[in-house]
Amino acid sequence: MSQFFYDGQIKRYLTQFMRLMSDFSVSTSAGSLTRVPVRYGDVNRQVATIVNKNSENIVQSAPFIACYIKDLKFDRLRLQDPSYVGKIHIRERDYDEQGQEYLNVQGANYTVERIMPTPYTITFNADIWTTNLDQKLQLWEQITVLFNPSMELQTTDNYIDWTSLSVLELTDGCVFEARAIPQGIANDISIATLQFTAPAWISPPAKVKQLGIVTKIISNVFAQPFDQYSDLNIASNIFEGPFSGLEPDAQVVVTPRNYDLLVLNNTAVLVPVDQQNVSEGWTDVDQVPNRPSWLNLLDQYPGKFRSGLSQLRLTKPGGNEIVAFISLNPTNESLMVLNFDQDTVPSNTIISGRGTIDAIVNPQTFNPQPAVINTRYLILESINVNDQVGMPGYNGPDAWKNSDNSDFQANANDIIEWNGSQWTVVFNSQETSTVTYITNAYTGIQYKWDGQQWVKSFEGIYSNLNWRLVL
């Protein structure tokens, strides 16, 4: 089960909208000004009973403005990389608990990890309730003149909140009069509706970590000269293979039980020695037979395993390490759950404004219609790349035609994008030899272009000596 959280983010948008609709007045026949109250329009039955003083004979006073949310929709066009994590370091001023005041010295330090928010579009309605035309015209003129066509909206004063600013725009969905015609058959209350839209971001909880200070350094843990390995029953040919050419007093890293490691979908499993010769073809952790227990392995080491804090470090060619914070799967002790430190994962390569794709597809079986603007696909097969293209009578697949009915061409492993009228190649695999990283926004998996093919950037098999535990 997911952990409960509620930050009242949508409520803050509504509150700020109601504040914008407040502090308007109407002029009476006597020349005095009357401030127009603002109410939330979606009144429940209990509140309505209180307002009406438990009577059906109470007439609502007017004028007043009723505000409410008419619509809340997911905005795919503003969708960003959902796997992106923005980190910011915060230094507080020290606080004196006794004196109840902040001091001019540095206090605690924190790291705030902000997860990419989800985009939505909120539609607000402001119903103007009046008893005569003059009141309506006064309020209509005061409000609409402020929006030409929009106003800035700020939901919070937290300076590290990257979603605090938005914009409120007056739309063309306004209704000047909602009463029936002839008006004499309805009540005396006239209702005009102003409609507004605002782009909103709904953020998941941020991770706040207090920075620690190194207090102790422990060196040479389980590191011995080669001439001391006799007690560990290491074969006499230790200076052969990967250790050839090393001096007798050199130090080596020994992977626990010489297990290989399979990393897939944020999960790590141990690969027994007798299965290492077939491990390269595995695409799922369930393919590993007789998976060893992580719990039994961790019990053999003196370090204290701390879920969410202990680390698994993966060594990539070139020596770079990818760090993941680990925790045991509560229902299967052969599975280790990984939470990767995004600072150690290769950054996405920005291609024409973004480092993500929306999906990986086979264009021979996938139909992208109706095409959505700015949608990107990594294609596994070529599109209209054959000897018949351009020949008289050739007609390519309708799914991949441009708006002018021309045939779009692309090669396997290209990244393509729909710009609203035609398909374009934003990544040409035939002409790109540099290492490129992209993330599939649908699955969250990062891929690497090595100049010949796309492979998972850091998932796959890690042989012994290329991974280690930090408990």
Q: Is residue 59 part of a domain?
A: yes
Phi-psi region of 402 (alpha: psi -120 to 50; beta: other; left: phi over 0): beta
Q: Is residue 369 part of a domain?
A: yes
Please check whether residue 207 is in contact with residue 86, taking contact to mean a CB–CB distance below 8 angstroms: no
Q: What is the pLDDT of residues 310-320, one digit of tens each?
A: 888 998 877 78
Please check whether residue 415 is in contact with residue 425, taking contact to mean a CB–CB distance below 8 angstroms: yes
Please check whether residue 68 is in contact with residue 42, taking contact to mean a CB–CB distance below 8 angstroms: yes
Query: CA-to-CA distance for 115 and 315, rounded, in angstroms?
Result: 26
Q: Is residue 95 part of a domain?
A: no
Q: Is residue 108 part of a domain?
A: no
pLDDT surpassing 90 at residue 81: no
What is the pLDDT confidence band of residue 285, given thresholds at 50, 70 and 90? confident
Taken in order 302, 307, 308, 314, the sign of the CA dihedral is positive
Q: Which domain holds residue 154?
A: 9-74+119-200
Phi and psi for 461 in degrees, rounded to 5? -90, 130
**Are 426 and 351 part of one and the same domain?**
yes
pLDDT surpassing 80 at residue 101: yes
State the pLDDT at residue 47.
53
Query: CA-to-CA distance for 336 and 20, rounded, in angstroms?
Result: 51
Q: What is the mean pLDDT of residues 26-41?
A: 87
**Are 314 and 378 part of one and the same domain?**
yes
- As for how many domains the chain has, the answer is 3
**Are 372 and 466 part of one and the same domain?**
yes
Q: Is residue 211 part of a domain?
A: no
State the pLDDT at residue 228.
41
pLDDT surpassing 70 at residue 226: no
pLDDT surpassing 90 at residue 413: yes
CA 410 to centroid of chain Cα atoms = 30
Q: What is the mean pLDDT of residues 12-22?
A: 92
Of residues 78 and 41, more confidence is placed in 78
What is the pLDDT confidence band of residue 300, given thresholds at 50, 70 and 90? confident
**Are 339 and 447 part of one and the same domain?**
yes
DSSP code, position 97? T
Taken in order 304, 305, 306, 311, the sign of the CA dihedral is positive
**Are 227 and 319 part of one and the same domain?**
no
Q: What is the mean pLDDT of residues 305-334?
A: 85
**Are 182 and 262 part of one and the same domain?**
no
Q: Is residue 87 part of a domain?
A: no
Domain closes at, from 168, 200, 232: 200
**Are 158 and 298 part of one and the same domain?**
no
Query: CA-to-CA distance for 106 and 116, rounded, in angstroms?
Result: 29
pLDDT surpassing 60 at residue 436: yes
**Are 190 and 282 part of one and the same domain?**
no
**Are 42 and 158 part of one and the same domain?**
yes
State the pLDDT at residue 378.
94
| Average pLDDT value over all residues in the chain | 80
Q: Is residue 171 part of a domain?
A: yes
**Are 335 and 447 part of one and the same domain?**
yes
**Are 342 and 430 part of one and the same domain?**
yes
**Are 184 and 238 part of one and the same domain?**
no
State the pLDDT at residue 239.
41
